[in-house]
Structure 1
Amino acid sequence: MPKTPANVKPMDVLKSALSRNVLIDVKGNREYSGILEGYDVYMNIVLQNASEIINGENKGVYDRVLVRGDNVIFVSPSKGDGS
């Protein structure tokens, strides 16, 4: 059965985004953009080569970042990541 918006599950979206660029919006006007390396059922997310963006300004790039799931507002697979 093809995936329609009614039967797409959040974990399916994360699974399909593994090893691809994602944008994560978190509490406190922060965003992280990087390659999705892993996640768990609590939405704890590990990114590689992650940029931290605060109030629209890039504050730094980190080799690896763990974003705690209870801070996540949304996760979006990035367009234009070559995949």
Structure 2
Amino acid sequence: MTKRPLDILDQVLNRQPVIVSLKGGREIRGVLQGYDVHMNLVLDKAEEVENGQVQKVGTLIVRGDNVIYISPSLE
């Protein structure tokens, strides 16, 4: 059965880290706490990954129009 994109997000909600790629080349990793139909995201334990360096951000709200993709993290 083909899954809808929001069904896949429901599977990782509050469970495992996700990687969020943003416009401008930024990448955020964190635990998805919530989202809406506009792909606005709430991430907990968020970290920004840049040039192999990790900077802890904490809780973060990402505006949906900046999101390129969301992927479950393998870590």
- Please report the TM-score for the alignment, with normalisation by the length of structure 2: 0.89
Cross-structure match for 2:68? 73
Structure 1 residues 19-60: Cα deviation after superposition (integer angstroms, max 9, x where no partner): 1200000001100001111000000001001001234432x2
8 A Cα contact 1:24 1:75, kept in partner:
yes
- Say whether 1:23 aligns with 2:19: yes
Identity fraction in percent: 45
Q: Which 5+ residue runs of structure 1 have no aligned equivalent?
A: none
Shift of 1:10: 0.7
Superposed CA RMSD in Å reads 1.3
Q: Which has the larger radius of gyration?
A: 1
8 A Cα contact 1:30 1:55, kept in partner:
no
* Matched length: 74
Shift of 1:79: 1.8
Structure 2 counterpart of 1:43, from 28, 39, 52: 39
- Please report the TM-score for the alignment, with normalisation by the length of structure 1: 0.81
Q: Which 5+ residue runs of structure 2 have no aligned equivalent?
A: none
